[in-house]
């Protein structure tokens, strides 16, 4: 029988907060055999990253292993002195970190950072190291590696940076590679390429992989063995397919139900039709507007940015070209595309924050470029509101939750102080947040709660249209599912129309009626959601669909 | 890059025009008669006064005085002081002294500040860190003229380690105490800035990743933490040159150093327009060129910054 490469038994990790200790991980057991891929799945705060950091002795702050052992090839790493443990990092256990943007030092050339790994682990020095760096970058799938090695991280795209980090993580040929959410900051198509490449590379080199992810679909697709963590404990572990098809623990079941990539399309499509019907009913019954006229009409929108070129000349960047669509009342139109596809530019033009180079945006039949008086502009602003991607950055940290939600009402001089307070309470009810959060500040809330606050803030002025720019992309699957539910409920309740912008086709099915697929500023395919998912016409749409992790895995029931 | 440098240098023209005009106006508005000051307690005859006023253009409106000064400055003639020496000679004599003093002060604040701040940041909360925080707080809280006189009294008069005043013997050892006084306040700021920056960078993702790659702690701290922490410090040092020059006026006064600060101080007391304005012009020029150098150094330290 083969020896396990890594054997973690009864691992306890504590953090001390204000002199009290908090258990982050309790009694974790896990075994990784040589060449095997094991995935730890869980939401943020489940202890999955903490476990990974404990293995390489890089627990942040006050974190400490209080009990248990981490055996690497039979040696208990916990008992080793810090200096000896360092010897295992890089050369035996490699790391591919989560955010490719913040994990490369911005001040050094990419090649120099990989060379550093080679040098400190005594793999190669000097000229030989430089040559090896180029080989490693090529191996990680980076084209034109020789020139790229001489560039700085900010000259790389996200996917290229992640390839560089994979090259660095594998540079000293470790036997175990810890991949901590290696692709959650990347577009789906890039994510697929990177993971495919990582798969090939690790199986070729015989490297075992410990994959940390919140995405069950992705874990099931990539790993042989799953470990599901919840609040610091392992709730279930076993072969990936067995867990997916026959989950035992309620939490695993919830995860599977919430994963957009794994959701049954039949159910979504039916639910969607019911939601749309209810929302449109609301519009025709409760408001005076005609449900048949679209809330917004977008006609051949084009945006050209002038970029400084060589010398005094300017080059044109076509961010969006001839984009047209109607947003029907009580429905959701999704704009899908990778970064740089122009979807956010379109959203900004729809919001009136950017002037189109060509084309028109009609809101309720009125061309928004003709709205010039301040009074009319304020009225327009009330009727269309944005919700942005990053709930951490879009709320002012110095504003209490109450102030954040009240602010639009104050700006637009709506109601008296008591009426506004009443309105804030109603809004908190609508987004299912307790009234007690009113006196708290954004840093005291979780990502999902913050996004609820952002939605409440957007709803404060009773808008008709919400522009949701990657509004759920930064959230864990379970929270993402809850927010999508909330958006659907609000649509029914208030008859809202949504323009939903995302790079992730998987979530589109849960919320969208119509879909526009964008690539390089152009709309490549435009159809209703069912056609896009069941009968995609364009190769690019097919590619996006194929990139959804775990899509081909058969589920039980 | 060159276009950027040329543009920055061209920007100095309006800065110098504005600064000199402002100084001319201020000196003009200053109470007291420079000619009376020149003669001291002795009576001034009308003829002598008229002659002096004509010689130094004091009979003309200040705008004309300013324009005449600019005309002269363009061909390198900064006029003569009331004691009859060419102002350019005075500056040429005192500028190197101040340069030496300011350079020593800069070295003291930059090197000591960065080193102490770096170690304080690495050992956050330990005894060295706490000591440095208290010391820097005390230094920041005490005005430079109090600090200067106190150190002069202790090291110059009582312990007699260094001469209490410098005079014309501007040797390294003689200038050491004044340089310490001049650099001390900025040293405290550099220390605190470096410390904060180091603490922030220690928790940076790329620092953790470097450790995960097996890079030893010492190398990580030097290569990844220290260099990244220096960027805000360099910016501060550039802006601090102004404080250094303002501080030179006080410090040179305390230790009787014949530098440019002292020259400016004496000239202001006497109401000598040509000297005051010339000194200020030189200071503005130095400041502008030095901050340009700092900005270029900034770009050299941080590859994300490129000037076009």
Alpha helix segments (H runs only) across A71-187: 82-86, 110-120, 126-139, 145-148, 158-170
Same domain, A395 and A485: yes
Chain B residues close to A165, C-beta within 8 Å:
209
Residue A246 and residue A290 share a domain? no
Residue of A103, A121, A172 lying closest to B205 (CB–CB): A103
Examine residue A557 and state whether it is found in any structural domain, yes or no: no
User: Which chain A positions have a beta carbon within 8 Å of B211's beta carbon?
Assistant: 58, 86, 89
What string of DSSP letters covers A160-205?
A: HHHHHHHHHHHTT--SEEEEESTTTTS-HHHHHHHHHHHHHHHHHH
Q: Looking at the DSSP assignment, which residues form a beta bridge with residue A320?
A: A303
Q: Judge if ipTM > 0.85.
A: no
CB A481 within 8 A of CB A448: no
Q: Tell if the CB–CB gap between B214 and A58 is shorter than 8 Å.
A: no
- A87 contacts on B by Cβ (under 8 Å): 214
| Same domain flag for A248 and A295 | no
Question: What token pair was written down for A182?
Answer: 């290696």
Name the residue among A19, A27, A23, A82 with its Cα closest to residue A56.
A82
* φ and ψ at residue A363, rounded to 5 degrees: -115, 115
**pLDDT single digits (tens) A474-497:** 777 788 888 888 898 899 888 899
Nearest to B303 among A86, A99, A107 (CB): A107
Q: Is residue A554 part of a domain?
A: no
Q: Which of A228-232, A349-353, B164-168, B278-282 is least confident?
A: B164-168
Same domain, A321 and A380: yes
**Same-domain check for residues A316 and A391:** yes
Ranking A136-150, B31-45, B110-124, B176-190 by mean pLDDT, the lowest is B31-45
Residue A30: inside a domain, yes or no?
Answer: yes
Name the interface residues of A facing B (CB cutoff 8 Å). Answer: 56, 58, 60, 86-87, 89-91, 94-95, 97, 99, 102-109, 113, 116-117, 120-121, 152, 154, 165, 168-169, 171-172, 308
Q: Is residue A1 part of a domain?
A: no
Dist CA B308 CA B295 (whole Å): 13
CB < 8 Å from A in window 90-119 of B: none
Among A201, A233, A258, the domain-final residue is A258
As a residue count, chain A comes to 557
pLDDT of B192-214, one tens digit each? Answer: 999 999 999 998 999 999 999 99
CA geometry: angle B159, B162, B165, nearest 5 deg: 115
How many residues can be counted in chain B? 308
What residues make up the domain containing A76? 6-258
Contact between B226 and B58 under an 8 Å Cβ cutoff? The reply is: no
Query: What per-residue string of b and e applies to B166-195 under the rule 16 or more CB within 10 Å gives b?
Result: beeebeeebbbbbbbbbbbbbbbbbbbbbb
Q: Is residue A394 part of a domain?
A: yes
DSSP one-letter string for A199-235: HHHHHHHT-EEEEEES-HHHHHHH-SEEEEEETTEEE
Specify whether A246 is located in the same domain as A276: no
Of A197, A226, A258, the one marking the end of a domain is A258
- Measured in degrees and rounded to the nearest 5, phi and psi for residue A76 equal -80, 110
**Exposure string (b/e) for A43-80, b if CB count within 10 Å is 16 or more?**
bbebbbbbbbbbbbbbbeeebebeebebbbeeeebbeb
The DSSP secondary structure of A494-549, one letter per residue, reads H--EEEEEES-HHHHHHH-SEEEEEETTEEEEEEEHHHHHHS--SHHHHHHHHTST
| A254 and A300 share one domain | no
Q: What is the CA radius of gyration of chain A?
A: 25
Q: Which two tokens stand for residue A494?
A: 């208030």
A463 touches A311 (CB < 8 A) = no
A161 and A278 housed in the same domain:
no
Q: Are residues A210 and A322 in the same domain?
A: no
Task: For residue A316, give both structure tokens.
Answer: 């044109």
Angle at B294 between CA B290 and CA B299, to 5 degrees: 150
Collapsing DSSP to helix, strand or coil, A26 comes out as: strand
Q: Using alpha carbons, select from A557, A527, A555 the residue that is nearest to residue A221.
A: A555
Q: How far apart are CA A388 and CA B140, in angstroms?
A: 43
Among chain A residues, CA nearest to B224: A105
Structure-token pair, residue A505? 């086709």
> How many structural domains is chain A composed of?
2
Note whether residue A526 is domain-resident: yes
Report, as an integer, the average pLDDT of B85-113.
87
For residue B134, the SS3 value is helix
End-to-end CA distance of chain A: give it in Å, rounded: 36
Triad A504, A509, A511: Cα angle to 5°: 95
Long-range contacts (CB closer than 8 Å, 24 or more residues apart) made by B13-20: B15/B284, B15/B288, B16/B281, B16/B284, B16/B285, B17/B70, B19/B280, B19/B281, B19/B284, B20/B66, B20/B69, B20/B70, B20/B277, B20/B280, B20/B281
Q: CA A395: distance to chain centroid?
A: 18
Nearest-Cα distance to chain A for B16, in Å, is: 29
Partner residue facing B212 (CB), from A56, A104, A109: A56
φ, ψ for residue A307, nearest 5 deg:
-110, 145
Beta bridge partners of A177: A94, A209
pLDDT at B134 over 90: yes
Chains A and B: how many Cβ contacts under 8 Å?
A: 82
* Distance in angstroms (rounded) separating the CA atoms of residues A72 and B5: 57
Domain holding A235: CATH number?
3.40.50.300
Structure-token match 């084209």, residue found: A143
pLDDT of residue A94: 92
The answer to whether the pTM exceeds 0.95 is: no
The number of angstroms, rounded, from the C-alpha of A59 to the middle of its chain's C-alpha atoms is 24
Q: Which residue of A has its CA nearest to B303?
A: A107
Give the residue from A439, A474, A438 showing the smallest Cα distance to A456: A438
Report the gap between the CA of A474 and the closest CA in chain B (Å). 18
Taking CB atoms and an 8 Å limit, are B206 and A105 in contact across chains? yes
Q: Report the C-alpha gap between A224 and A200 in whole angstroms.
A: 15
Domains of chain B: 20-75 (no CATH), 87-270 (1.10.3720.10)
- Residue A109: closest C-alpha in chain B: B303
Give which of A46, A24, A38, A12 is closest to A179, Cα–Cα. Answer: A38
Is A277 domain-assigned? Answer: yes
Token output for A296: 């917004």
Give yes or no: residues A207 and A304 share one domain.
no
B224: chain A residues, CB-CB within 8 Å: 105
Q: What is the DSSP letter of A456?
A: H
Domain boundary (A224, A258, A292) is at A258
Strands (E), A345-494: 358-363, 366-367, 384-387, 465-469
State the pLDDT at residue A312. Answer: 61
A309 and A283, same domain (yes or no): yes
Same domain, A433 and A289: yes
Q: Which residues of chain A have pLDDT under 70?
A: 1, 260-269, 308-313, 551-557
| Cβ of residue B306 closer than 8 Å to a chain A Cβ | no
Residue A553 lies in a domain: no
Tokens standing for B155? 């090291």
């Amino acid at each position: 029988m083969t020896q396990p490469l890594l054997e973690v038994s009864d691992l306890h990790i504590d953090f001390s907060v204000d002199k009290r200790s908090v258990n982050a991980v309790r009694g974790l057991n896990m075994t990784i055999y040589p060449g095997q891929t094991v995935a730890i799945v869980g939401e943020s705060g489940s202890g999955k990253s903490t476990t990974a950091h404990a293995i390489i002795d890089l627990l942040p702050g006050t974190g400490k292993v209080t009990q248990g052992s981490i055996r690497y090839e039979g040696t208990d790493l916990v008992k080793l002195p810090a200096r000896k443990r360092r010897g295992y990092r890089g050369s035996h256990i490699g790391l591919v970190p989560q955010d490719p943007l913040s994990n490369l030092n911005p001040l050094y050339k990419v090649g120099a950072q990989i060379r550093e790994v080679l040098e400190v682990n005594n793999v190669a020095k000097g000229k030989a190291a430089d040559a090896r760096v180029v080989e490693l970058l090529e191996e990680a799938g980076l084209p034109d590696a020789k020139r790229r090695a001489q560039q700085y991280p900010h000259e790389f795209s996200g996917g290229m940076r992640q390839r560089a980090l994979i090259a660095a993580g594998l540079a000293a040929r470790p036997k175990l590679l810890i991949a901590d959410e290696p692709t959650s900051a990347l577009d789906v198509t890039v994510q697929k390429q990177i993971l495919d490449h990582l798969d090939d590379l690790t199986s070729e080199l015989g490297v075992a992989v410990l994959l940390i992810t919140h995405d069950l679909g992705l874990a099931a697709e990539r790993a042989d063995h799953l470990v599901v963590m919840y609040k610091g404990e392992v709730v279930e572990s076993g072969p990936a397919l067995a867990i997916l098809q026959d989950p035992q623990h309620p939490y695993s079941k919830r995860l599977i139900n919430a994963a957009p990539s794994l959701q049954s399309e039949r159910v979504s499509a039916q639910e969607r039709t019911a939601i749309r019907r209810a929302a449109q009913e609301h519009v025709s019954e409760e408001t005076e507007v005609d449900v048949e006229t679209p809330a917004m009409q977008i006609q051949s929108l084009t945006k050209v940015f002038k970029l400084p070129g060589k010398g005094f000349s300017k080059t044109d960047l076509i961010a969006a070209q001839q984009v047209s669509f109607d947003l029907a009342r009580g429905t959701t139109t999704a704009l899908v595309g990778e970064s740089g596809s122009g979807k956010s530019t379109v959203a900004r033009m729809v919001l009136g924050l950017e002037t189109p180079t060509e084309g028109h945006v009609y809101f309720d039949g009125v061309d928004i470029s003709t709205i010039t008086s301040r009074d009319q502009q304020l009225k327009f602003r009330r009727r269309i509101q944005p919700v942005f991607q990053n709930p951490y950055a879009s709320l002012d940290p110095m504003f209490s939750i109450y102030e954040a939600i009240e602010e639009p009402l104050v700006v637009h001089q709506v109601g008296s102080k008591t009426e506004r307070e009443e309105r804030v309470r109603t809004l908190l009810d609508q987004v299912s947040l307790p009234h007690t959060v009113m006196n708290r500040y954004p840093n005291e809330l979780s990502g999902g709660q913050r996004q609820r606050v952002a939605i409440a803030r957007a709803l404060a002025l009773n808008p008709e249209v919400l522009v949701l720019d990657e509004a759920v992309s930064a959230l864990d699957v379970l929270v993402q599912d809850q927010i999508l539910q909330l958006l659907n409920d609000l649509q029914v309740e208030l008859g809202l129309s949504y323009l939903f912008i995302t790079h992730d086709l998987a979530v589109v099915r849960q919320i969208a009626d119509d879909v526009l697929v964008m690539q390089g500023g152009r709309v490549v395919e435009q159809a209703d959601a069912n056609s896009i998912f069941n009968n995609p016409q364009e190769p690019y749409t097919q590619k996006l669909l194929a990139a959804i992790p775990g899509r081909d895995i058969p589920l039980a029931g | 890059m060159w276009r950027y440098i040329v543009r920055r240098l061209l920007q100095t023209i309006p800065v110098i025009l504005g600064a000199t005009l402002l100084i001319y106006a201020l000196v003009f508005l200053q109470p007291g008669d420079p000619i009376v000051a020149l003669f001291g307690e002795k009576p001034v005859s009308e003829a002598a006064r008229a002659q002096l006023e004509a010689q130094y253009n004091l009979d003309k409106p200040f705008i004309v005085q300013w324009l005449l000064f600019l005309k002269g400055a363009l061909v390198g003639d900064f006029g003569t002081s009331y004691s009859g020496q060419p102002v350019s000679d005075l500056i040429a004599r005192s500028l190197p002294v101040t340069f030496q003093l300011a350079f020593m002060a800069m070295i003291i604040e930059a090197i000591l500040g960065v080193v102490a701040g770096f170690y304080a940041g690495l050992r956050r909360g330990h005894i060295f860190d706490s000591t440095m925080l208290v010391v820097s707080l005390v230094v920041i809280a005490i005005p430079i003229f109090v600090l200067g006189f106190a150190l002069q009294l202790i090291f110059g008069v009582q312990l007699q380690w260094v001469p209490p005043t410098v005079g014309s013997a501007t040797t390294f050892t003689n200038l050491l105490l004044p340089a310490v006084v001049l650099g001390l306040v900025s040293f405290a700021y550099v220390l605190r800035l470096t410390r904060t920056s180091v603490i922030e960078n220690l928790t940076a993702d790329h620092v953790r990743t470097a450790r995960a790659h097996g890079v030893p702690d010492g190398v990580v701290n030097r290569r990844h933490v220290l260099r990244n922490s220096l960027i805000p410090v360099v910016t501060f040092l550039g802006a601090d040159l102004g404080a250094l020059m303002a501080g030179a006026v006080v410090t040179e006064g305390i230790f009787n150093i014949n530098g440019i600060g002292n020259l400016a101080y004496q000239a202001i007391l006497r109401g000598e327009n040509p000297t005051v304005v010339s000194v200020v012009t030189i200071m503005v020029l130095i400041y502008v060129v030095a901050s340009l150098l700092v900005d270029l150094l900034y770009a050299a330290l941080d590859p994300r910054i490129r000037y076009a």
